[in-house]
Amino acid sequence: MTMLNRRDWGARAPRGAYTTLTRTRGVKVHYTGDHVDPGLVNDHARCVAVIKGIQNYHMDNNGWIDIGYSMMVCPHRTVFQGRGPGHLPAANGAGLNSDHYAVLGLVGTSGLTRPPNDMLLGVLDAIDYLREHGGAGQEIKGHRDGYSTDCPGEPLYAWVRAGAPRPPSGTR
Position 171 pLDDT exceeds 80: no
Region 66-90: mean pLDDT is 98
Burial (CB count within 10 angstroms: exposed 0-12, middle 13-18, buried 19+), residue 134: buried
Range of the domain at 26: 2-9+20-161
Mean pLDDT of the chain: 96
Whether the CB-CB separation of 123 and 49 falls below 8 Å is answered with: no
Is residue 121 in a domain? Answer: yes
Question: Would residue 133 count as lying in a domain?
Answer: yes
* Residue 172: band (very low, low, confident or very high) from pLDDT cuts 50, 70, 90: low
| Mean predicted confidence (pLDDT) in 122-138 | 98
In a domain, 49, yes or no: yes
Is 168 part of any domain? no
Task: Judge whether 140 and 27 are in contact, CB under 8 Å.
Answer: yes
Work out the pLDDT band at 129, boundaries 50, 70, 90: very high
DSSP 71: E
SS3 state at 72: strand
**Residue 169 clears pLDDT 80, i.e. is over it:** no
Mean per-residue pLDDT, 115-122: 97
pLDDT digits (tens, 9 = 90+) for 15-54: 999 999 988 999 999 999 999 999 999 999 999 999 999 9
**Residue 103 in domain:** yes
Number of domains in the chain: 1
Closest CA to 81 of 11, 17, 168, 13: 11
Q: Where residue 55 sits, what CATH number does that domain have?
A: 3.40.80.10
